[in-house]
Copies of this chain bind each other. A is one copy, B any other.
Amino acid sequence: MAGRTTTLSINYSLYLILDSRFARGRALLDVAQAAVRGGVTVLQIREKHLTTRELVRAALELRAWAREAGVPFIINDRVDVALAVDADGVHLGPDDMALETARRILGHTRIIGVSAGTQDEAREAARGGADYIGVGAVYNTASKSDAGAPIGVDGFAAIARSVRIPAVAIGGLSVDNVAPVIMAGAAGVAVISAIVGAMDVERAANEMRSRIDAARHVATGSR
């Protein structure tokens, strides 16, 4: 299990993916700050439409604040931008750099998360030294048009159980459907539009976090 020195203390409960296309014209930093006040525990920036220069600028601003706030800050896809802004890590999807290559470049002090849609992909990511997996789409989602057919809670549970590293659920998650995913063993849930697109970001984050904590309390109590 190479490369998992930084993750023991990460709380993946509520993992927010920042994408300005869902932000209703609000600045990502404002959205991030409100979201963390509401209970978000990890921030990722995913701004596929920006140039490298624009992405570095946006990430630098978030990075500085996230460090002050003590919130882990992850970059989607771009290993170079993670190094440029000294982010805590990267998240790699199927179109991004291979885990092995990213680990070689980033070393073992940064988090690398990998998307996994099957048990095979999850085990490959764990063997390759991923710090966590992002598993989904659990439910139907409008945020990612290429997410494929949803795997459901049972599908999520099977993948999460196939590895020892944390599994973060993604895809169509909301206050109304998050509890069963937590009870199925999710280390947390990743959301975009449910929080970034909410009229009241802090409140949306707070409600989501409350449901997550309550579901985890029930899950722990029932064991």
Contacts and interface: CB of A to CB of B under 8 A. Distances in A.
Contacts of A79: 80, 83-84
A41 B56 CA distance: 32
Interface stretch (A46-54, A65-73, A158-166, A173-181): A46-54
Nearest to A85: B101
A83 B81 CA distance: 13
Stoichiometry, copies per complex: 2
Contacts of A95: 51-54
Contacts of A56: 97-98, 101
A131 interface: no
A42 to B, nearest CB: 22
Q: Is the interface of A mostly helix, strand, loop or mixed?
A: helix
Nearest to A48: B51
A101 B84 contact: yes
Interface string A96-134: 111001000100000000000000000000000000000
A96 B54 CA distance: 8
A202 interface: no
Given A51-B96, A84-B101, 4 more contacts: A56-B97, A56-B98, A56-B101, A80-B81
- What are the nearest 5 A-B pairs in CB distance? A80-B80, A51-B95, A79-B80, A84-B101, A83-B105
